[in-house]
Homo-oligomer: A and B are copies of this chain.
Amino acid sequence: MGERCGPRTESTVMQVYKAPIQDMRFAAETFDYDVVAAMKQFADFDIETVHALLEEAGKFCTKEMLPLNPVGDRVGLKFDPESGDVTLPDGFKKLYQDYVASGLGGIGHPVQYGGGGAPHAVSIGLSELATGTNKSFSMCPGLNHGLISALLHHGTDDQKKIWLPKLISGEWTGTMCLTEPQCGTDLGLITTRAIPQDDGSFTLTGTKIWITFGEHDLASNIVHLVLARLPDAPEGIKGISAFIVPKFNLDGSRNGIKCGGLEHKMGIHASPTCVMNMEDATGYMVGTPHKGMRSMFVMMNAARLHVGIEGIALGEIAYQTAVAFSRDRRQGRSLNPERNDNGAKADNILVHPDVRRLLLNGKATTEGLRGLAFWLANLIDISEKHDDPAVREEADDLVAILTPIIKAYGTERGFANINDALQATGGAGYTTDWPIEQYLRDSRIALIYEGTNHIQALDLVGRKLPRAGGRLYKAFSKRVHKFCKAHEDAGTHAEFIAPTRKAINTLNEVTMALGMKGMADPESAAAAASNYLTLFGITTLAYIWAMEAVAAADRQDEGRFFRTKLKTARYFFEYILPETDSLVRLINAGKDPLMAFDDEEF
């Protein structure tokens, strides 16, 4: 249990992690990696190569990133109010250099700008491994990806040539500067101003808050993507433009953007959350005037998927930690005499059904969400690069509708899973000796940032469902029905197919009713949106688990992994899917019980 007095040293923290590479590979294989691998752009990336790359990434994360995770939590950040400098704990700069040297940072980016050109299955897998082993650290390269995506989609050729190579190599890092003190969710309220200059550049003045890695000492330059208003901008969200604002100008001089302070947070203590003050800072417009939200949405969609993965990543390491504790900890006797370890005074707590329930809640939903993440990874590649426009469109539709699901349900379930893991470890889990409490604190922000989970639900209900006459939802529903029908026709796997069929039928009915309700009364649809998203999330996992169970059933001879998959699938259908019963009732409860209260009655 580690020493209990005096200054804590990192060696007292019980760190447990085995990179879940086999499950990542299985998820990629089950969800269309064959389609990706068949595409000419990924000719160099067969599944064996993906596996090997993830193995390498897993080794780096476990060996280099994990040991610094409790250090970052405990030591935190130094801020110098005079200079605005932010210093990370000892070891983080070296870690960042090693990370850049490993080439992992740019592995998924275009070869043209110095990246590795790997498919998303690799970068999504890396995202989980990095987040699981050191979430604070992983947020630095994580933000980088967003800026790179925005430039690839909306930058000019010149901008790409100037900024991308050093961002992709990791020599420089990137940020997203959206939020201001008066606006978080509602970006229409932004007031930062950008004044055009004769040389085509702009000068920006204003204050941004919540800027992750807005200032730090890991890299030689920091490149901010900033939302601001031109002097002639229309009010609201349609008057916002996007600008590149570097910390150091290209001539090496210091630009007028400076960190004004750090937030004190519940977790992610080694991830600087900065107030960024701009005073006549030089910036360069990305995209067209007043259309800056387009660039931001490119960043945000990628970011939302990665935030969803945070729930998987920290759920996984918390689960593994609780399993290790449970194997070791002996308390009480099994109620089943056959399970008693008569050589010891007590049995290990894995004999107790409720400890298993707590652990299996985590295992079943984490693996299910990982299946979804790798499906999305493959769908993104298909949507961007497949030869057939119809295939591209279907993949794009699925990515669009499933992104809010993985962001919101992934983070909500991830937090719940870490909480269950903490409960399984009892008092030990409440101490810093077992880092589950850090994982719980670090994960909590994921339900909030990149659009709170309810914003995801409004995006799902208010934008994704109605889009193109409901085409996105139909793409999802059709996939599930097609899969169910194939197995019903073949008469196979009824234990998984029947409840999946029932779940998708329920979701169809609820979706239809919600659509009708939303047309008549948007406030009523908003009241149901969060519960609807959860229903959608669990139904999606039913499909994922049915797919994985069918795939695993054929491969039981290949090893225990596949036999365990079948058991975990059964657990999901018996112990997770039933949550949908209550959700349907809550969705139907309507808005009146909420809206009946006057403001003063709260």
Q: Which B residues are CB-close (under 8 A) to A3?
A: 261
Q: CB distance A430 to B444 under 8 Å?
A: yes
Q: Mark A256-282, 1 if CB is under 8 A from B, else 0.
A: 000011111111000000010000000
Q: Which B residues are CB-close (under 8 A) to A564?
A: 597, 601
Task: Give the number of residues in A that approach B within 8 Å (Cβ atoms).
Answer: 104
CA separation between A601 and B183, bound complex, in Å?
Answer: 47
Q: Which residue from B353, B441, B457 sits with its C-beta under 8 Å from A594? A: B353
A236 → B minimal CB distance (Å): 9
**Residue among A181, A182, A275, A357 facing the most chain B CB atoms (10 A cut-off):** A357
Q: Which B residues are CB-close (under 8 A) to A352?
A: 454, 526
Q: CB distance B353 to A526 under 8 Å?
A: yes
Within 8 A of B (CB), among A558-580: 560, 564, 567, 570-571, 574-575, 578-580
Q: Which B residues are CB-close (under 8 A) to A357?
A: 527, 530, 594
Q: Which residue from B182, B275, B445, B452 sits with its C-beta under 8 Å from A4? A: B275
A97 → B minimal CB distance (Å): 27
Q: CB distance B5 to A262 under 8 Å?
A: yes
Which of A238-246, A329-337, A383-391, A479-487 forms part of the interface with chain B?
A: A329-337
Within 8 A of B (CB), among A524-574: 526-527, 529-530, 560, 564, 567, 570-571, 574
Q: CB distance B585 to A578 under 8 Å?
A: yes
Q: Add 4 more A-B contacts to A6-B261, A570-B593 (CB < 8 A).
A: A5-B260, A360-B594, A429-B448, A574-B589
Q: A residues near B, CB below 8 A?
A: 1, 3-6, 8, 79, 81, 179, 181-186, 189, 210, 260-267, 275, 323, 326-327, 330-332, 334-336, 345-346, 348, 350, 352-357, 359-360, 363, 415, 419, 422-423, 426-427, 429-433, 437, 440-441, 444-445, 447-449, 452-454, 457, 522-523, 526-527, 529-530, 560, 564, 567, 570-571, 574-575, 578-583, 585-586, 589-591, 593-597, 599-602
